[in-house]
């Protein structure tokens, strides 16, 4: 009997500039996850004949869609609408899956409304960025984005029901969504010490500048529930931004 794959691995890329890192990611998926119950989708935001050629000839045979988008989260939303997997995990070009993701796939049951979490390693992390994000789904989300998006397997139906990622937050939409889910009582599960992805450095959310912290203030003003922790956010974000910027 046919059934949807357990996981969609979703890879948004801008275009041919990401050819080499995308090749590393596809090769890594083939090496680590060959034979697993997965679907691989590549979403390209501009004309990219070299990416199309790579995808066509790669033994992994990922599906590739080429269409203009309005940024990373728009691309992620488009992949979500196409995904057949019961869960969806977003990774970037240059990210490499680890053996922990195989162990997770082997134990997962058909998706419910719980998130599945895994650790993320960033070997070449920027200053003031942790080299390892352990799975967390707790009150720490009120203060910082403690749950790295490469370590969250969202139930695809849940992500669609929530409307995906808000394009109002071009850098921190995943953080906004995670706050909404956590505050609404969505649960998460993980195995201690299980790491899923070795993530490439870079990304706009790790460019510590005034625009980033202005966006964080905006999303917390809109998303967080009333209370002392919300009231403290302007002061907290100002202190955090000073510490981060000093480290660059």
Q: What percent of the chain has pLDDT over 90?
A: 70
Q: Which residues pair with 41 in a beta bridge?
A: 10, 63
The reported pLDDT for the residue numbered 118 is: 97
The number of beta carbons lying within 10 Å of the beta carbon of residue 213 is 18
The reported pLDDT for the residue numbered 243 is: 62
- Give the residue, 2 or 191, on which the prediction is more confident: 191
- 3-class secondary structure for 90-139? ECCCCCEECHHHHHHHHHCCCCCCCEEECEEECCCCCCCCCCEECCCCCH
- Cα–Cα distance between 170 and 135 in angstroms, integer? 24
Assign 127 a pLDDT band (cuts: 50, 70, 90): confident
C-alpha torsion sign, points 10, 138, 113, 135: positive
- The domains found in the chain, sorted by start residue, are 7-246 (3.90.550.10)
Q: Minimum mean pLDDT among 85-89, 160-164, 211-215, 244-248: which range?
A: 244-248
Assign 244 a pLDDT band (cuts: 50, 70, 90): low
The reported pLDDT for the residue numbered 204 is: 53
Quick one: which of 142, 140, 120 has its CA closest to 131? 120
The arrangement of strands across the sheet holding 152-155 comes to: 63-66, 38-44, 7-13, 87-90, 152-155, 115-117, 188-189
The reported pLDDT for the residue numbered 65 is: 94
C-alpha torsion sign, points 77, 81, 82, 87: positive
Quick one: which of 213, 196, 195, 191 has its CA closest to 204? 213
Assign 36 a pLDDT band (cuts: 50, 70, 90): confident
Gyration radius (Cα) of the chain, Å: 18
Give Cα separations from 145 to 134, 153, 178, 238 (angstroms). 12, 16, 8, 16
pLDDT digits (tens, 9 = 90+) for 136-194: 999 999 998 888 889 999 999 999 999 999 999 999 999 999 999 999 999 999 998 99
Give Cα separations from 244 to 134, 207, 209 (angstroms). 20, 10, 9
Q: Minimum mean pLDDT among 44-48, 104-108, 153-157, 220-224: which range?
A: 44-48
Give the mean model confidence (pLDDT) for residues 98-126.
Answer: 90
- Cα–Cα distance between 7 and 126 in angstroms, integer? 30
pLDDT at residue 111 is higher than 70:
no
pLDDT digits (tens, 9 = 90+) for 5-31: 999 999 999 999 999 999 999 999 999
Assign 207 a pLDDT band (cuts: 50, 70, 90): low
Q: Do 142 and 218 touch, CB atoms closer than 8 A?
A: no
The reported pLDDT for the residue numbered 1 is: 38
Question: Mean pLDDT of all residues in the chain?
Answer: 90
Helix, strand or coil, per DSSP, at residue 39: strand
Q: Do 224 and 180 touch, CB atoms closer than 8 A?
A: no
Q: Do 41 and 65 touch, CB atoms closer than 8 A?
A: yes
């Amino acid at each position: 009997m046919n059934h949807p794959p357990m996981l969609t691995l979703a890879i948004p890329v801008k275009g041919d500039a990401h050819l080499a890192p995308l090749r590393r990611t596809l090769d890594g998926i083939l090496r680590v996850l060959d034979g697993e119950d997965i679907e691989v989708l590549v979403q390209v935001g501009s004309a990219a004949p070299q990416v199309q050629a790579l995808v066509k000839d790669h033994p992994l045979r990922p599906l590739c869609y080429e269409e203009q988008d309005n940024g990373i989260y728009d691309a992620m939303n488009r992949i979500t609408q196409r995904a057949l997997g019961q869960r969806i995990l977003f990774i970037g070009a240059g990210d490499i899956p680890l053996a922990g993701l195989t162990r997770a796939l082997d134990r997962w049951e058909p998706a419910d409304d719980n998130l599945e979490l895994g650790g993320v390693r960033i070997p070449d992390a920027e200053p003031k960025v942790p080299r390892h994000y352990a799975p967390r789904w707790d009150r720490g989300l009120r203060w910082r984005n403690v749950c790295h998006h490469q370590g969250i397997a969202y139930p695809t139906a849940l992500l669609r029901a929530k409307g995906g990622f808000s394009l109002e937050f071009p850098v921190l939409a995943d953080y906004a969504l995670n706050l909404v889910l956590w505050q609404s009582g969505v649960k998460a599960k993980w195995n201690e010490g299980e790491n899923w992805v070795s993530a490439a450095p870079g990304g706009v959310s790790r460019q510590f500048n005034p625009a980033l912290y202005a966006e964080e203030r905006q999303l917390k003003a809109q998303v967080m529930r009333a209370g002392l922790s919300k009231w403290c956010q302007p002061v907290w974000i100002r202190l955090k931004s000073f510490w981060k910027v000093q480290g660059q």
